[in-house]
Structure 1
């Protein structure tokens, strides 16, 4: 099958983040087993979704991991010119949800499998396909926990997020949380008899705004845009009707941290502001939604040099979005970002990838295979 044929199949699975993914996992498993490749299905604690791990080549040698996620963001937004889960081709453009982010990389990897299987590999190439990356990399930690039993310690991991096939050395870390405040409902004409959870959340919201403003003052890392850690409230919900005192309010908040800063610590002042409200009778709940560390790979590492040679492109110092790469590095595996497509096309209507980008990625993977034959 060509990379485009494989991408057609992968896009047809609406593997929305946070939903069961047995369909796409089974399709990939079946495809790989046709080439005699042993496949490990690794269910997560949710029980209705799983990671997938497979190895090509000798099991007793150190090799390279090709890592990507099988989930995609929803496609409810207006503006799609066609069914987002049916690949549509218009010239070199291949439209569909996940084409760039990041089923295009998975398709290129799978299209390279026949060449890899036919090669006399002296070092293995591993495929690590994860779930729920779009919810803060929730799936890959469970895969990494099993890695010592799946393979010899790898030489490095290539995370195929869309990068225009340019290697990327660093990204920010992230932590996200949900704060729930519980008050007491009642008729809005008697605010003295209730506890307004939305009003109480204003204190937390102000703490978040102040913290975000403080972060803009540094510390700085000029490799990132912006060159400082950041914090934002992305969602706030509360109340039932205008004449009912709201007894509940939720706020979702995230922090993105430059290398060397633990993103979870950036949320601590906001959690402290919420806890103060207990004294007034407000109930406070804090739920950690997701977290992953920053990636920081030195330019002089062997992995950076290898990807520079394979792509014939100098690495980009950093990007501000996050990936699974930081988790691989935290687990002791050097990691670098390099994949087909453009992050600017992701998470929007008429997401697409170019057929030439798929071919370039497949060629890079096959070239990696040749390096693993030396």
Structure 2
């Protein structure tokens, strides 16, 4: 067991300004796979609140009010971040730093501002008008099979499925983003014959054979599909290529990794068929897939939330865990502080006001 997991958790002040709580969470480094310290701190803070029941599974925590309200909603957020930047002079690192009213550091937008809002609400709202399930989970920024939310669904499904609506506090710049695109990855392989590069005519170059794959992807025009009134823009791209073993060897194998972000009106099977048709004639292997989520904004709780926020709903182009709630039959939206375009950047930051505004909007709706 790591020292982080065995040491006393850092105390979190849930009653101060929510932006200061954001900074405190950012100062606990929590790259995916190393969430124990922040999970310890969050668990300790929640167990100190007598109006909540608290359960921990690995480095995921569920806290619930149990007031017998007619409706229950979920507020969810992940505790992990992507790795820290290595660029000299980067401001998206740990610990956090203030520049006036702007907070810099890893996780500022993705998504410790949202987690801070969850914790502040959990402390403040002992008697909300809707029962609330607060979910904090690990391993969001890595492959789906490791997801802490997925593990909670598997181990404690009943703690989630009694909700009628879910809000994932991913950064949306204060907008309501309904549903999300699906995502899938493929490995497209070409083969050839190895030879000394001085006698290239004796071999067959597998990298050259991959050129038509790249050409088809470059010439492809992505579609925009309307789903329940929201327009989801798709994208299909080569994201990685690998081939060759040495500078003087004609490569006999090349692999192109392809990522397809597809509208939630397509099933995984339909999206896969679309890519296979485009890359017909090549060896295509699907390596990963996650369905999208339809907006579901016509659900009563969703409609009341959008009205309370007072902003026009938008589509979510990236994949988020709203899709996991959608699979459970729970309509879900993304709503959180910070510009999503800054997520994972070396310049990641969020304003003090943005975090406070997100807290105020959810407080009005819940209280």
Q: Is the 8 A contact 2:85 2:93 kept in 1?
A: no
SS of the aligned residue for 2:314 comes to coil
SS of the aligned residue for 1:231 comes to strand
Compared CA separation, residues 219 and 6, structure 1 to 2 (3 A): closer
Residue equivalent to 1:46: none
TM normalised by structure 1 equals 0.80
Residue equivalent to 1:242: 247
Please provide the CA RMSD for this pair. 3.1
How far apart are the structure 1 equivalents of 2:92 and 2:157?
A: 41
Residue equivalent to 2:293: 294
Residue equivalent to 1:134: 141
- Give the superposition deviation at 1:163: 1.8
* 2:101 pairs with one of 72, 81, 92: 92
How far apart are the structure 1 equivalents of 2:37 and 2:85?
A: 21
- Give the superposition deviation at 1:274: 7.2
* 2:31 pairs with one of 9, 16, 19: 16
When the two structures are aligned, how many residues end up with a matched partner? Answer: 348
* Higher RCO structure, 1 or 2 (CA under 8 Å, sep 6+): 1
Q: Is the 8 A contact 1:42 1:143 kept in 2?
A: yes
Give the alignment of 1:134-153 within 5 angstroms: 134-135=141-142, 138=145, 139=147, 140-151=149-160, 153=162
Residue equivalent to 1:105: 114
How far apart are the structure 1 equivalents of 2:313 and 2:70?
A: 30
Give the alignment of 1:135-174 within 5 angstroms: 135=142, 138=145, 139=147, 140-151=149-160, 153-174=162-183
Residue equivalent to 2:324: 327
Residue equivalent to 1:175: 184
- Give the superposition deviation at 1:342: 1.5
Q: Is the 8 A contact 1:182 1:248 kept in 2?
A: yes
Whether 1:233 aligns to 2:238 is: yes
Residue equivalent to 2:8: none
- Give the superposition deviation at 1:167: 1.8
Give the alignment of 1:335-350 within 5 angstroms: 335-350=332-347
Range with bigger deviation, 287-296 or 230-239: 287-296
Give the alignment of 1:60-99 within 5 angstroms: 62-76=71-85, 78=87, 80-82=89-91, 84-99=93-108
Residue equivalent to 1:367: 364
Q: Is the 8 A contact 1:57 1:121 kept in 2?
A: no
Q: Is the 8 A contact 1:170 1:297 kept in 2?
A: yes
User: Any stretches of 5+ residues in structure 2 without a counterpart?
Assistant: 1-12
- Give the superposition deviation at 1:158: 0.7
* 1:198 pairs with one of 199, 202, 207: 207
- Give the superposition deviation at 1:74: 3.0
How far apart are the structure 2 equivalents of 1:142 and 1:197?
A: 40
Q: Is the 8 A contact 1:57 1:123 kept in 2?
A: no
Q: Is the 8 A contact 1:173 1:295 kept in 2?
A: no
Range with bigger deviation, 199-208 or 82-91: 199-208
Compared CA separation, residues 57 and 310, structure 1 to 2 (3 A): farther
Per-residue CA deviation, residues 132-186 of structure 1 (Å, 9 max, x unaligned), is 3334655133333345332552020011111222222243222223345565544
- Give the superposition deviation at 1:193: 5.1
How far apart are the structure 2 equivalents of 1:15 and 1:191?
A: 49
Per-residue CA deviation, residues 194-224 of structure 1 (Å, 9 max, x unaligned), is 45332333343344345x33x44x6666833
User: Any stretches of 5+ residues in structure 1 without a counterpart?
Assistant: 44-49, 278-283
SS of the aligned residue for 1:296 comes to coil
Give the alignment of 1:187-226 within 5 angstroms: 187-191=196-200, 194-209=203-218, 212-213=220-221, 215-216=222-223, 223-224=230-231, 226=233
TM normalised by structure 2 equals 0.81
- Give the superposition deviation at 1:113: 2.1
Q: Is the 8 A contact 2:69 2:129 kept in 1?
A: no
Per-residue CA deviation, residues 1-52 of structure 1 (Å, 9 max, x unaligned), is 13234322321233334x3422222222222122244433334xxxxxx433
Residue equivalent to 2:54: 39
